[in-house]
Structure 1
Amino acid sequence: MGRFSRLLAPKFLAFSKIDDDGPILDAGCGTGSLTCELLSRTSQAMIVAVDISSAYIEYCRQNVSDHRADFDVADLTKLPFADCHFEQAYSQLVLDFVPDTVRAFEELFRVLKPGGRFAAAVWDARGGLVFNRMFLDTAAVLDEEAGVLRKKNFTRPLRQPGQLTQVALSAGFSGIRADELLIRTEFKSFADYWAPFDGKDGPIPAYYSKRPTDLRAKIKDAVRRAYLDGDQDGPRSYVAVALAISAVKIM
C-alpha cells in the first residue's frame, strides 16, 4: 500500500488544511509518505513521526534526510509525549490497525495543545477499495480461510462510514468535518498488480504465503482472470476511497 499512501497524502493534507504551526505529529508514519508530504507543505515546523515498527523507523531514518523530521518507535496507545505538546497531529492509514482504537484517539487528544488540530484517514475497505476486494472476493470463493480474512478486513474498527467521527467525538474532539478522498490505483499489468500479494507486509500476503502450493496457484489464476476481465493483459485503473475526518481539541 506504500505507493498508494503517497498518492493519498497530498489530498489528505489538502482536506486537513495544514499550516506551519508546530510541532506536528505524524502518528503511524510507516515508510514516511505522509511525513514527506508534511515536510513539503511546511517550511519551519518540526515533524515528529512515530511508528510501532522499528523496521519502518529505520527505513525512514535512512531515506528522509530533512533535519526537521525526527523518527521514533512509539505505540499510539502509549505515546511518550507530555500533555498538550503538539499543535497538529495527523494519522494516515494506520488507526484501523491499532488494537485499541479508542485509546489511540484518547492519546492523540491528550498530546495536542488546546486549539490543536487533528486529522485521520483510513481506507473504505468494503465500499471503496476495488483492487483489494478483487483479491478477497475471488479467494473467498475458493478458500474458507480467505472468507475469514475478508470478514476481518471489512469489519475492522473505523472502516465503516461514520465510525471515525464517532470515536473522535468520544475522545473529546470537536468541530469535526468528514469527507471521502478518492484516488486511482494504477497498475501496468497483472504482474504489477499481483506483486504486493507475493510480498511480506500486510494481512493478505501473510494469508497467501501460508496456503498450500496448489491452492495458491488456483487463487492466483482466478484473480488473474478477474483482473483481465475478458480483455488482454495490460494497464488497469481502479478507484480507491479513504474515509477522512478533521477535528479540533477545544478545552
Structure 2
Amino acid sequence: MTTASSTFVASDGDGYERVMGRWSRLLALPFLDFAGTADGERVLDVGCGTGHLAFAVTRRTGAGEVRGVDLAEPYIAHARRHNQDPRIVFDVADACALPFADRSFDRVLSLLLLHFVPDAGKAIAEMRRVAKPGSVVGAAVWDARGGFVSNRLFFDTAAALDPAARERRARNYTRPMTRPGELAKAWRDAGFKAVEETSLAIRMEFANFADYWAPFEGKEGPAAEYLATLAPDQHARLREAVESAYLDGEADGERSYAALAWAVKGKAPA
C-alpha cells in the first residue's frame, strides 16, 4: 500500500518486523535519550509502524498516555495485537492530517517516517499544530546515503547489474529529510525554537546471509518493491551477487553493519 502521504510499500505487520521493526526497536532507545521523556505526559508517536517507539516510551517512563498513529492498517493491527499496556492506543491516521486538536500533546515524536512523506513539511506542520507550546517535537530518519550500510549493500549491487536499479537507488538515497542539516532546517522553517540536530547509531546484526536476504523476498519497503519487478533469472543473479558482497570471501555467518540516523528536536513556539 502506498498513498499520496507515504511512498513506503506496506502490506503486512510481520513482514515489516523482518524488514525494519527489529531495527526501529533498537533505534528507539538512543532516540529517546535525545528527545527525552517525562512522567505524566501525553505523547504522540507519528508513523508508529508496529509500535516500538510507543512501547519504549511506556517502558522508560510513567507516561500518562501514548497515542500511536500510522497510515498502514496492517501495522496498526500488528501493534494492537502486541500491546499489553492500557496507556497506549494505536489508530490508523495520516501524518499530514492528524485527527487531534491543536495543542493537545506534551511531546510529539516520529521515528523513521518523514523520509517517506512526499510533503514532509505538511507532516511537520501537523506535528507542531498538535504540540503544546514549549513541548518537545522530535524526529529521526535514516542517514540513507551515508550511514545505512546493509541497505546500500543491496542497492549498490543491484545498480551495478541493472540500469533500472540506478534510478531506484537514486530515489532511495535522495529522499526528503535525509541530508545533513535538512531536518534542522525544516524544524527552524516550521518555527520551532532551541532546535538541535544529531546523529544516532545502532548496529544491525544478521545471523547469516539467509537472515539478511529474507526480508527482501517479502512485500515491505523499497528493496522488496524492486525485487518483485525482476524476472527469475535477474532475481537469481542479483541474489548471487549480493550474497558474494555479504560473504566478502569468508564463510557464511554473522555480520554486523553500522546504521546511522539523523535526529532533530525543538520546542513548539507559544
Compute the displacement of 1:21 (Å): 4.0
Report the TM-score when normalising by structure 1.
0.98
Unaligned runs of 5+ in 1: none
Residues 212-242 of structure 1 show CA distances to partners (whole Å, capped at 9, x for unaligned) of 1100000000000000111111111110001
Residue 107 of structure 2 aligns to a residue in which SS? strand
Compute the displacement of 1:171 (Å): 1.1
Equivalences for residues 123-134 of structure 1 within 5 A: 123-134=142-153
Equivalences for residues 153-168 of structure 1 within 5 A: 153-168=172-187
Compute the displacement of 1:44 (Å): 3.8
Partner of 2:192: 173
Equivalences for residues 1-251 of structure 1 within 5 A: 1-251=20-270
Which residue identity lines up with residue 139 of structure 1 in the other structure? A
Which residue identity lines up with residue 55 of structure 1 in the other structure? P
Residues 125-175 of structure 1 show CA distances to partners (whole Å, capped at 9, x for unaligned) of 110010000000000011112111100000010010111011111111111
Is this contact kept in 2: 1:29–1:35, CA < 8 A? yes
Corresponding residue pairs, total: 251
Distance 1:205 1:41 in 2: 33
Is this contact kept in 1: 2:44–2:105, CA < 8 A? yes
Is this contact kept in 1: 2:28–2:52, CA < 8 A? yes
Distance 1:195 1:20 in 2: 39
Residue 68 of structure 2 aligns to a residue in which SS? strand
Compute the displacement of 1:178 (Å): 1.1
Report the TM-score when normalising by structure 2.
0.91
Residues 102-139 of structure 1 show CA distances to partners (whole Å, capped at 9, x for unaligned) of 00000100100101111100000110010000000000
Distance 2:97 2:63 in 1: 27
Unaligned runs of 5+ in 2: 1-19
Is this contact kept in 2: 1:21–1:87, CA < 8 A? no
